[in-house]
C-alpha cells in the first residue's frame, strides 16, 4: 500500500478487497464489496431516479462499471467516494436520456461525497471505448455469462449495452412488459449467484 495515503479502517478494508480482485480475480472479494455498499447505493440512486426498477438497473450498472475500471482507482480518496461518483454520474446520464434532469437532485453529503448538484463529468463511453472495455472480465459479467440464453440476452442488452427497455423491444421484437419481466427474473438469478459466491 502507498503509505502517502492515510486510509480509515473501512478504506483499508476496501483497498485490500480491491487488491484481491485485481491480483487474483477473487469472486468473494467482488461479492463482499457489493454487499458492503448495495444498501447505501440503492438508497442514493432511488432518491435520484424515484423508481424501483430503474434503481435496481442503475445499482447493477454502477457495480459493473466500477469493477470494470478497478485498476483506475487510486486510494487518495475513499473507495466509497469513487463508487458513489460512478453511481451519481450514471444516474445523471440516465436522467438526461429520460429527459428528467430538470427534477431536483437531492444533496448527497457524508463520507467525502460531493453534492450531486455540482457539475460532474459524464461517465458515458463512446462505442469504441465500450467495445474495448467489454472485453475485460469481471464478476458481474461472469454472472451474466452463467445465465440461460433467454436471460443472458436481455441482461446484456440492459446492463452491458445500456439500452432502454424501448430500445430492447425494437431489437428483439418483444413487448416492453415481457422484457421487464425477463430482466427482473435475470436479476434475481444473478443475485442468487452472488449469494452463493459469498457463501450465504
Q: 9-21: per-residue pLDDT in tens? A: 898 899 999 999 8
* pTM of the predicted model over 0.85: no
Q: What percent of the chain has pLDDT over 70?
A: 73
The 10s digit of each residue's pLDDT in 11-47 is: 889 999 999 989 998 888 888 888 899 889 999 999 9
Q: State the average pLDDT for the chain.
A: 76
List, in order of start, the domains of the chain with CATH numbers: 9-197 (1.10.1740.10)
Farthest CA pair distance, the chain: 55
Segment 40-61 mean pLDDT: 88
Residue among 72, 79, 69, 103 nearest 8 (CA):
79
**Rounded Cα distance, 45 and 88, in Å:** 7
Q: What is the CA radius of gyration of the chain?
A: 17
**Rounded Cα distance, 177 and 166, in Å:** 10
**Rounded Cα distance, 11 and 75, in Å:** 8
Q: What are phi and psi of 90, to 5 degrees?
A: -65, -40
- Low-confidence winner among 79-88, 134-143, 153-162 (lowest mean pLDDT): 134-143
**Rounded Cα distance, 25 and 116, in Å:** 32
Residue 135 banded pLDDT, cuts 50, 70, 90: very low
The 10s digit of each residue's pLDDT in 151-200 is: 889 988 887 788 888 899 999 998 888 888 888 888 878 777 766 665 54
Amino acid at each position: 500500500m502507498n503509505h502517502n495515503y492515510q486510509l480509515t479502517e473501512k478504506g483499508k478494508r476496501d483497498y485490500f478487497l480491491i487488491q484481491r480482485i485485481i491480483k487474483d480475480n477473487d469472486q468473494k472479494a467482488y461479492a463482499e464489496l457489493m454487499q458492503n455498499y448495495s444498501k447505501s447505493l440503492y438508497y442514493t440512486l432511488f432518491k435520484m431516479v424515484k423508481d424501483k426498477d430503474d434503481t435496481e438497473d442503475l445499482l447493477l450498472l454502477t457495480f459493473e462499471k466500477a469493477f470494470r475500471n478497478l485498476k483506475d482507482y487510486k486510494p487518495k480518496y475513499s473507495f466509497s467516494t469513487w463508487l458513489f461518483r460512478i453511481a451519481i454520474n450514471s444516474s445523471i446520464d440516465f436522467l438526461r436520456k429520460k429527459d428528467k434532469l430538470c427534477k431536483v437532485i437531492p444533496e448527497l453529503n457524508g463520507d467525502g461525497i460531493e453534492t450531486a448538484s455540482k457539475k460532474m463529468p459524464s461517465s458515458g463511453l463512446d462505442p469504441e471505448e465500450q467495445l474495448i472495455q467489454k472485453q475485460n472480465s469481471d464478476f458481474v459479467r461472469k454472472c451474466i455469462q452463467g445465465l440461460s440464453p433467454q436471460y443472458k440476452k436481455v441482461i446484456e442488452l440492459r446492463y452491458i449495452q445500456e439500452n432502454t427497455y424501448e430500445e430492447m423491444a425494437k431489437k428483439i421484437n418483444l413487448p416492453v412488459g415481457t422484457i421487464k419481466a425477463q430482466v427482473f427474473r435475470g436479476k434475481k438469478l444473478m443475485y442468487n449467484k452472488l449469494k452463493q459466491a459469498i457463501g450465504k
